């Protein structure tokens, strides 16, 4: 069972090799080895945007970004 690295929910599903979707915080994430991951916001057109890029360009503090 895969836990979401952002919210620790078990309400996740596999969408590809090493890629998962969290139904709790509505992000897709990929796992790279021991504890490393990249989280993505799924845009309206289906484009994946790395959350790190969104936080960096938004000016919003990272701790406030996901609620």
Q: Three-state SS across 17-44?
A: CCEEEECCCCEEEEECCCCCEEEEEECC
Question: Which pLDDT value is given to residue 36?
Answer: 84
Residues 6+ apart with CB under 8 A from 13: 20, 21, 23
β-bridge partners, 31:
37
pLDDT (tens, 9 = 90+) of the chain, 67 residues, equals 789 988 999 999 999 998 999 999 999 999 887 778 889 988 899 899 888 766 555 455 544 445 4
DSSP type of residue 60: S
For residue 46, the tally of other CB atoms under 10 A from its CB is 6
């Amino acid at each position: 069972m895969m836990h979401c690295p952002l919210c620790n929910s078990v309400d996740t599903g596999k969408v590809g090799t090493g890629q998962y979707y969290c139904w709790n915080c509505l992000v897709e994430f990929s796992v790279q080895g021991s504890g490393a991951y990249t989280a993505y916001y799924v845009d309206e057109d289906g484009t994946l945007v790395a959350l790190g890029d969104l936080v960096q360009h938004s000016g919003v503090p990272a701790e406030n970004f996901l609620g």
